[in-house]
Structure 1
Amino acid sequence: MTSTKVEQPASRPLRKDAARNREALIAAAREVFARRGFDASLDEIAKQAGVGVGTAYRHFANKYELAEAIMEQAMESVVGQAEAAARAEDPWQGLVEFLEAVLELQTSDRGLREVLMGVHDPAKADAAHDLLDGPVTALLERAQASGDVRPDANTSDLGFLIMMLCLVADISGDETPGLWRRYLPTLLAGLRPGGVDESVPPMSTDRFRAAMLAHKAMAVKAAQSRC
């Protein structure tokens, strides 16, 4: 017996007004999540976007679906920044500018920070980090080849550097939103050859990923317990 492949109907493109509403909801979610993180509700986002609550729920079943749409846009931007930084004439300056751009993005946007930390969906955050692995590795290896970065550094060092400075942003909040910039030069100095004691090896990339997944799972559990 031969099997017959059932053709799935192609999804219809959104009408212009529906597409506008969807983009308005995403833009509003960026603003609301940036201020309040995932404490915000889809109803609040609909109000900010100037659309009805029913319209919001026709596009997104819940605020986490909206978060996924935001993350896709953000990751496209970050990957593009990493690729552009890898083409910089000065490898060290390219790495520094990339880190500054990522930190500016994450420290100024609480919601995006929660998304990338996997507060509500570790698996999706991990998949997003997969997209960054190649471009960031190329960026780091280029700076190592030029002698600007210590040879034992790896991408887990960059990940921890970003997380440490995001914690500064979490604690300092709106009082001193740019305080992370005070500590960035100190951490960058640690990436330089001979800048610090190199007797402690970096965490391997695999162990870093496993540790991050475990941390994110704990964050999800804590968030669910508050609901």
Structure 2
Amino acid sequence: MSDDVGTGQRPQLRKDAERNRARILDAARALIQDHGLDISHDEIAKAAHVGVGTVYRRFPTREALFDELFYEELEVLVATAETAGELEDPWSAIRQFMFRMFEQQAANRGLRELLIGHRGGTDLARRAQSQIEPVITRLVARAHTAGRLRADIGPTDFPIIVEMLNAVMAACRDEDPDLWRRYLAVVLDGIATGRRRALPGQPPDPEQIGRLIGGRGSDGRTRIAP
């Protein structure tokens, strides 16, 4: 894979400094998994049991912290796109990349928020996206040529699809964390040509809908929008 995502080798740290760095990163990962990217240096310091000055010395900015936390995940994401791009069947490649990308984001809330541009994202995330976009463009062209993708779907539809599915993933994270799979399958069937696949999972029941998208109105009926 390309080295464009890389940030270079870190200098060697003293053992105590390396321990503090590891504690800071572990604490930040746990906080982000629970609260997303809206965490402060003070919160990280408290969770890591280090002084806030130590956090700032290691990671002067949030971007520096996020780049360190998500470097490997972004490398995996780029590699996933490149691997999919090498598959012979372009539609299978699109399906594989979309499902694996969302599986990775479902397992890492911070990565999902970073990729949808929360707080502007980071240069590292933008470089990763710039490496993925040409792969998607090639896959779309190949799928059109093979007659597997609707002719009126273009590469720039995919970022919108990602935004849509990320909203589902965020809403269902606590209630039914795998529900996004069903709606990704709905979207993929909608943009494909030919035979449809059976959808994974089951439709949410009325009580789940109430919890997922805004509860119930005064008449006791489920509201479709907040």
TM above 0.5, one fold?
yes
1:97 match? 96
Other-structure match for 2:12: 14
Counterpart residue identity of residue 186, structure 2: T
Cα pair 1:33 1:112 within 8 Å, conserved: no
Task: Report Cα offsets for 1:133-188 as digits up to 9, x if no partner.
Answer: 12222233333333221233222222111111110112223111111111111100
Instruction: Answer 1 or 2: which has greater helix percent.
Output: 1
Letter in 2 for 1:88: L
Mapped partners of 1:27, 1:98: distance in 2: 28
SS at match of 2:36: helix
1:181 aligns with 2:209: no
Q: Equivalences for 1:4-153 in 2 at 5 Å?
A: 13-15=11-13, 17=15, 18-19=17-18, 21-22=20-21, 25-46=24-45, 48=47, 53-121=52-120, 124=123, 126-153=126-153
Corresponding position of 2:166: 166
Identity of aligned residues (%): 38
**What amino acid is aligned across from residue 157 of structure 1 in structure 2?**
D
User: How far did 1:76 drift?
Assistant: 1.7
Q: Which residue of 2 aligns with 1:191?
A: 191
Alpha-carbon distance change, 64 to 122 in structure 1, aligned in 2, over 3 angstroms: closer
Which whole-Å CA distance do the structure 1 matches of 2:20 and 2:145 have between them?
48
> What is the alpha-carbon distance in structure 1 between the residues aligned to residue 30 and residue 178 of structure 2?
18
* Residues 42 and 88 of structure 1: CA distance in aligned 2, closer, same or farther (over 3 Å): same
Structure 1 residue 96 displacement after superposition: 0.8
- Structure 1 Cα separation of the partners of residues 68 and 172 of structure 2: 28
Once the two structures are overlaid, the 10-residue window that deviates more, 25-34 or 176-185, is 25-34
| Unmatched tracts of structure 2, length 5 or more | 1-8, 196-226
Distance 1:88 1:23, change over 3 A: farther
**Correspondence for 2:211:** none
Q: Distance in 2 between matches of 1:135 and 1:35?
A: 32
Cα 1:132/1:23, change in 2 over 3 Å: farther
Taking the aligned partners of 2:154 and 2:19, their CA distance within structure 1 comes to 42
Letter in 2 for 1:63: R
Code of the residue aligned with 2:162 in structure 1: it is I
Structure 1 residues 58 and 38 mapped into 2: Cα distance closer, same or farther (>3 Å)? same
* Equivalent residues of 2:114, 2:122 under 8 A apart: no
Contact (CA 8 Å) 1:71, 1:116: kept in 2 or not?
no
Structure showing greater relative contact order (alpha-carbon pairs closer than 8 Å, 6 or more residues apart)? 1
